[in-house]
């Protein structure tokens, strides 16, 4: 059976604590399997980078986005069984020790329910406000991942790489999950796919055709290190596609996509609700888990 997850209310000035709490409690009650956050730092008024790599227009709601790890910690407190995930955190906005500690804290507080999605991002402006050269984000990520994993491993931790150095040290807490929270990557480039095959536990494609996803997954599995398990697939589907010229999906169309994903053996579908034109108020968000029940039921 395919797990169906929902993105958490996070984007837009109408999102409040009461809205988030009501949404996540209802989603867990109805049987959704996971709840997800994303990461946005700012909305540049004169962007040099295309939104999601495809559009010159950055949605206005991105002017206000709750912080992902802080939000996920609150969701952990308001729920008890549903898995929690990031789809995705941008590696270039963080340092390995700092992010390892934040994520391990969430894993501890949630009782081991965290899945960590990482990407390399697309916004030059967001990288620059973090004092990171955006042209280095791929190479930086290649050093970031082993440094992050070292922090979650046994003490003493030590790492020396081209971007990050961690002196011999004790770093805690460690995650509850053994050996660590699952890592899923949403990096569509060739280097990103190689990174996924080498380091990740799962693949987190955003959009895309189902047949293409399955073909790529087979290639990734063939490139895995000896003895590594096959990747799980966490397909992220948008009710409001990031390309402005594309129309929003209906609930019925999303249910059909989930049913097809389930028949194909996809492990999880993450329904991205942010920016959906039908969610313009807190009440709209609170009603969304019930509105999307046909999508949940389509998973089988």
Per the prediction, the chain carries an average pLDDT of 96
Section 19-35 average pLDDT: 98
Tens of pLDDT along 287-300? 999 999 999 999 98
Band (242; pLDDT cuts 50, 70, 90): confident
State the pLDDT at residue 245.
76
173 preceded by a cis bond (ω within 30 of 0): yes
Q: How far apart are CA 139 and CA 124, in angstroms?
A: 15
Section 234-260 average pLDDT: 93
What domains sit in the chain, N to C, each tagged with a CATH number? Answer: 3-298 (3.20.20.30)
State the pLDDT at residue 11.
96
Section 162-177 average pLDDT: 98
> Which range, of 24-38, 50-64, 106-120, averages the lowest pLDDT?
50-64
In 40-196, beta strands by DSSP E: 83-90, 114-119, 157-160, 165-169, 183-185
Section 271-280 average pLDDT: 94
Section 183-198 average pLDDT: 96
Q: How far apart are CA 190 and CA 217, in angstroms?
A: 13
Section 27-39 average pLDDT: 98
In this structure, what token pair is assigned to residue 46? 């004169």
User: For the whole model, what pTM was predicted?
Assistant: 0.97
Q: Could you tell me the CA-to-CA distances from 66 to 20, 24, 51, 98, 191 in Å, in that order?
A: 11, 15, 19, 18, 30
pLDDT of 54 over the 80 cut? no
């Amino acid at each position: 059976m395919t797990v169906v997850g929902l993105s958490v209310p996070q984007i837009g000035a109408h999102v409040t604590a009461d809205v988030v709490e009501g949404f996540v409690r209802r989603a867990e009650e109805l049987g959704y399997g996971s709840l997800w956050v994303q990461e946005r730092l700012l909305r540049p008024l004169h962007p040099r980078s295309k939104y999601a790599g495809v559009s010159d227009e950055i949605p206005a709601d991105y002017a206000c986005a709750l912080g992902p790890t802080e939000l996920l910690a609150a969701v952990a407190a308001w729920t008890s069984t549903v898995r929690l995930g990031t789809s995705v955190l941008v590696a270039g906005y963080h340092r390995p020790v700092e992010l390892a500690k934040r994520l391990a804290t969430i894993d501890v507080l949630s009782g081991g329910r965290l899945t960590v999605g990482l990407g390399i991002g697309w916004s030059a402006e967001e990288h620059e406000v973090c004092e990171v050269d955006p042209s280095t984000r791929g190479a930086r990520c290649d050093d970031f991942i082993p440094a992050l994993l070292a922090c979650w491993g046994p003490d003493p931790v030590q790492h020396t790489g081209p971007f990050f150095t961690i002196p011999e040290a004790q770093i805690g807490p460690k995650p509850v999950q053994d050996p660590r929270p699952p890592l899923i990557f949403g990096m569509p480039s060739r280097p990103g796919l190689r990174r996924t095959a080498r380091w990740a536990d799962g693949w987190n494609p955003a959009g895309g055709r189902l047949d293409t996803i399955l073909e790529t997954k087979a290639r990734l599995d063939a490139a895995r290190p000896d003895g590594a398990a096959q990747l799980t697939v966490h397909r992220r589907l948008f009710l409001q596609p990031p390309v402005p010229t594309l129309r929003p999906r209906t609930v019925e169309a999303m249910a059909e996509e989930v049913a097809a994903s389930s028949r194909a053996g996809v492990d999880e579908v993450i329904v991205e609700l942010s920016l959906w034109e039908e969610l313009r108020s807190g009440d709209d968000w609170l009603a969304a888990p019930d509105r999307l029940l046909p999508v949940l039921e389509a998973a089988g």
